[in-house]
Amino acid sequence: MDKRDELRILRVSEVCARTGYSKTSLYRLEAEGRFPKRVKLGENSTGWYAHEVDEYLASLPRAADVAGA
């Protein structure tokens, strides 16, 4: 992975689009420790590291895995 890709920051709208979660679900999962923590970008802005969001998505079980359990 390119260092630039590793440090790419996603804003909340991009994370919601990538995950399919609403903002409320995203913040709830983060508060529960089940989603990567945000990084502070400025006084009123935050984002998530793209590679952490991608790693989270890759860690989710596939539907076939869940159905067979």
Residue-range definition of the domain harbouring residue 55: 3-61
Which residue has 């970008």 as its token pair?
Answer: 41
Q: Which pair of tokens denotes residue 45? A: 């802005």
For the stretch 5-32, pLDDT in tens is 668 999 999 999 999 999 999 999 999 9
Question: Which pLDDT value is given to residue 62?
Answer: 86
What's the number of domains the chain is made of? Answer: 1
Give the Cα separation of 13 and 9 in Å (integer): 12
pLDDT at residue 67 greater than cutoff 90: no
Grouping H, G, I as helix, E, B as strand and the rest as coil, residue 8 is: coil
Across 44-64, average pLDDT = 93
Question: Would 66 be classed as within a structural domain?
Answer: no
> Which 8-state DSSP code applies to residue 61?
P
Asked if residue 68 is part of any domain, the answer here is no
In a domain, 7, yes or no: yes
Task: State the chain's mean pLDDT as an integer.
Answer: 90
Assign 1 a pLDDT band (cuts: 50, 70, 90): low
pTM of the model: 0.81
Does residue 67 form part of some domain? no
